[in-house]
Amino acid sequence: MWSESSVRESAARVVPVAVPTEKVSPMSGFLKVEQLAKAYQADKPVFADVSFAIDQGEFVCIIGHSGCGKTTILNVLAGLDTASSGNAFMDGREISGPSLERGVVFQSHALMPWLTVRQNIAFAVKSRWPDWGKAAVNTQVEKYVALVGLSQAIDKKPSQLSGGMKQRVGIARAFSISPKMLLLDEPFGALDALTRGTIQDELMSIVRETQQTVFMITHDVDEAILLADRILLMSNGSETPTGYVPGGMAEVVINPLPRSRTRAQLHHLDGYYDLRNHIVDFLVSRAKAH
Residue 91 contacts residue 246 (beta carbons within 8 Å): no
pLDDT tens digits for range 210-258: 889 999 999 999 999 999 999 999 999 888 888 888 989 999 999 999 9
How many C-beta atoms surround the C-beta of residue 19 within 10 A? 12
The mean pLDDT value for 1-14 works out to 38
Nearest CA to 253 out of 82, 8, 1, 5 is that of 8
The DSSP H or E segment spanning 143 is helix 134-147
Q: How confident is the model at residue 208 (pLDDT cuts 50, 70, 90)?
A: confident
| Pairing mode of beta strands 102-105, 181-185 | parallel
Using the predicted structure, report yes or no on whether residue 16 has a pLDDT greater than 70. no
- pLDDT at position 239: 85
pLDDT tens digits for range 47-87: 999 999 999 999 999 999 999 999 999 999 999 999 999 99
Using the predicted structure, report yes or no on whether residue 194 has a pLDDT greater than 90. no
Lowest mean pLDDT among 66-70, 132-136, 161-165, 195-199: 195-199
The mean pLDDT value for 265-274 works out to 92
Residue 78 contacts residue 185 (beta carbons within 8 Å): no
Lowest mean pLDDT among 21-25, 43-47, 163-167: 21-25
Q: Kindly calculate the radius of gyration of the chain based on its CA atoms and give it in whole angstroms.
A: 20
Q: How confident is the model at residue 200 (pLDDT cuts 50, 70, 90)?
A: confident
252 alpha-carbon distance from chain centroid: 14
Q: How far is CA 209 from CA 42, 151, 204, 205, 234, in A?
A: 45, 19, 9, 6, 30
Average pLDDT of the chain, as a whole number: 86
- pLDDT at position 28: 61
Q: How confident is the model at residue 10 (pLDDT cuts 50, 70, 90)?
A: very low
pTM assigned to the model: 0.85
Using the predicted structure, report yes or no on whether residue 9 has a pLDDT greater than 70. no
What percent of the chain stands above pLDDT 70?
Answer: 90
Using the predicted structure, report yes or no on whether residue 23 has a pLDDT greater than 60. no
Residue 33 contacts residue 95 (beta carbons within 8 Å): no
Q: How confident is the model at residue 190 (pLDDT cuts 50, 70, 90)?
A: confident
Distance separating alpha carbons of residues 161 and 110, to the nearest angstrom? 13
- pLDDT at position 179: 93
Domains annotated on the chain, with CATH: 4-17+29-101+179-286 (3.40.50.300)
Question: What are residue 93's DSSP bridge partners?
Answer: 90
Secondary structure of 50-99 as H, E, C letters = EEEEECCCCEEEEECCCCCCHHHHHHHHHCCCCCCEEEEEECCEECCCCC
Residue 86 contacts residue 37 (beta carbons within 8 Å): yes
More confident site: 2 or 29: 29
